[in-house]
C-alpha cells in the first residue's frame, strides 16, 4: 500500500486498520498511541461508531495488543479494554478538562510500557506557597502528577478542524515526550493530532485513517505546521 502522505518523520496511510496492520505496518515494532472511536455514536465521516459492545472491545484489543500501547478512553471503557486485552495497565493518569459537558475527564493508560514522568513537568498546584513561589521564580516546574488538566479542543480553539472528536496537541505531545519509543503508530489517526505532535517533537510516526476527507485534514495540518518551523 502506498502512503497517502509522507514527509520527514511522518507517514500516513489511507485505509482501514485491518487492511494496513501486518500487511503494510508491523505494529510490534511501534508504540501504538491513540484515542480510538469511543463507540458512543459520534458522527464520524465513515465510521458508524456503533458496534455491539463485545465486538467493539474485541476489536480494540486486537488493534492494541500486539505491542506496547497508550490508550485514551473513558474510565469505564478502560476496564473493559484491559479485560479484553487480558492485561493490566502499567500506569493510568486522568486527563481532566473543565467544561460544560457531562463527562469532564478521560483515562490515559499505558499497556506493556511505562512512562517516565521525569521527562516533563506541569504547573504547581499551590503557586502562592512561598517555597513554591521561589521555585517558580527560578524557572522550575512541578514533576508530573497523575492528573493532567489540559483543555479540550473546542469550536473556538485555534487548532480546531472539521473532525468531531479532536484531541489537543498538548496532550499528545506530553504522552510522546514521556514514553520511550523509536516509532509511534496511531491506527485511528482522525484529525492527525498524534502525527502532528510527533512531527513537532521529531519522532518517527505512522498513521492510519479510513476517511479520505480526514486524511486531507491531516496532510494540511502537517504541511502548515512544518512551514511554521
* CATH number reported for the structural domain that contains residue 212 in this entry: 3.40.50.150
163 vs 37: CA distance, rounded Å: 12
pLDDT in tens, 154-170: 888 999 999 988 999 99
The average confidence (pLDDT) of the chain is: 93
Q: Please, are residues 88 and 112 in contact by the beta-carbon 8 Å criterion?
A: no
pTM, entire model = 0.93
- Neighbouring CB atoms inside 10 A of 17's CB total 20
**pLDDT value of position 140:** 85
Domain that holds residue 208: 5-228
**pLDDT value of position 45:** 86
pLDDT in tens, 173-213: 999 999 999 999 999 999 999 999 999 999 999 999 999 99
Please state the domain count of the chain.
Answer: 1
Q: Burial-class residue 158 by CB neighbours within 10 Å (0-12, 13-18, 19+).
A: exposed
Q: Please, are residues 77 and 49 in contact by the beta-carbon 8 Å criterion?
A: no
User: In the β-sheet with 105-111, what is the strand arrangement from edge to edge?
Assistant: 5-7, 10-14, 205-209, 184-186, 31-34, 69-73, 105-111, 91-96, 147-149
**pLDDT value of position 129:** 93
- Residue 217 — pLDDT band, cuts 50, 70, 90? very high
**pLDDT value of position 174:** 97
Residue with cell string 504547573: 123
Q: Burial-class residue 209 by CB neighbours within 10 Å (0-12, 13-18, 19+).
A: buried
CA 57 vs CA 38, 95, 159: distances in Å: 10, 22, 30
> What HEC string does 190-206 produce?
CCCHHHHHHHHHCCCEE
98 vs 6: CA distance, rounded Å: 36
- Residue 142 — pLDDT band, cuts 50, 70, 90? confident
- Do the strands 121-122 and 105-111 form a parallel or antiparallel pair, or are they unpaired? unpaired
57 against 41, higher pLDDT: 57
**pLDDT value of position 139:** 87
pLDDT in tens, 71-102: 999 999 999 999 999 999 999 999 999 888 88
Question: Once rounded to an integer, what is the mean pLDDT over residues 8-28?
Answer: 92
**pLDDT value of position 133:** 93
**pLDDT value of position 177:** 97
Give the chain's end-to-end CA distance (angstroms, integer): 30
- Residue 229 — pLDDT band, cuts 50, 70, 90? low
Report which DSSP code applies to 101.
S
pLDDT in tens, 12-21: 999 999 999 9
Residue 107: strand, helix, or coil = strand
Amino acid at each position: 500500500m502506498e502512503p497517502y502522505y509522507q514527509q520527514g518523520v511522518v507517514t500516513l496511510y489511507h485505509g482501514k486498520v485491518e487492511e494496513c496492520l501486518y500487511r503494510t505496518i508491523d505494529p510490534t515494532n511501534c508504540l501504538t498511541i491513540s484515542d480510538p472511536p469511543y463507540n458512543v455514536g459520534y458522527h464520524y465521516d465513515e465510521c458508524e461508531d456503533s458496534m455491539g459492545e463485545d465486538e467493539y472491545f474485541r476489536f480494540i484489543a486486537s488493534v492494541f495488543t500486539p505491542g506496547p500501547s497508550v490508550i485514551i478512553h473513558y474510565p469505564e471503557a478502560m476496564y473493559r479494554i484491559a479485560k479484553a486485552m487480558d492485561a493490566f495497565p502499567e500506569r493510568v493518569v486522568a486527563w481532566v478538562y473543565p467544561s460544560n459537558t457531562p463527562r469532564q475527564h478521560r483515562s490515559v493508560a499505558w499497556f506493556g510500557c511505562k512512562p517516565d514522568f521525569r521527562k516533563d513537568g506541569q504547573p504547581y498546584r499551590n503557586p502562592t506557597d512561598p517555597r513554591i513561589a521561589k521555585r517558580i521564580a527560578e524557572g522550575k516546574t512541578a514533576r508530573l502528577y497523575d492528573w493532567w488538566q489540559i483543555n479540550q479542543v473546542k469550536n473556538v480553539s485555534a487548532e480546531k478542524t472539521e473532525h468531531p472528536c479532536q484531541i489537543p496537541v498538548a496532550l499528545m505531545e506530553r504522552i510522546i515526550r514521556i514514553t520511550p519509543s523509536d516509532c509511534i503508530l496511531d491506527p485511528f489517526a482522525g484529525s492527525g493530532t498524534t502525527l502532528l505532535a510527533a512531527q513537532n517533537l521529531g519522532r518517527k510516526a505512522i498513521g492510519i485513517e479510513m476517511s479520505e476527507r480526514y486524511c486531507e485534514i491531516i496532510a494540511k495540518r502537517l504541511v502548515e505546521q512544518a512551514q511554521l518551523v
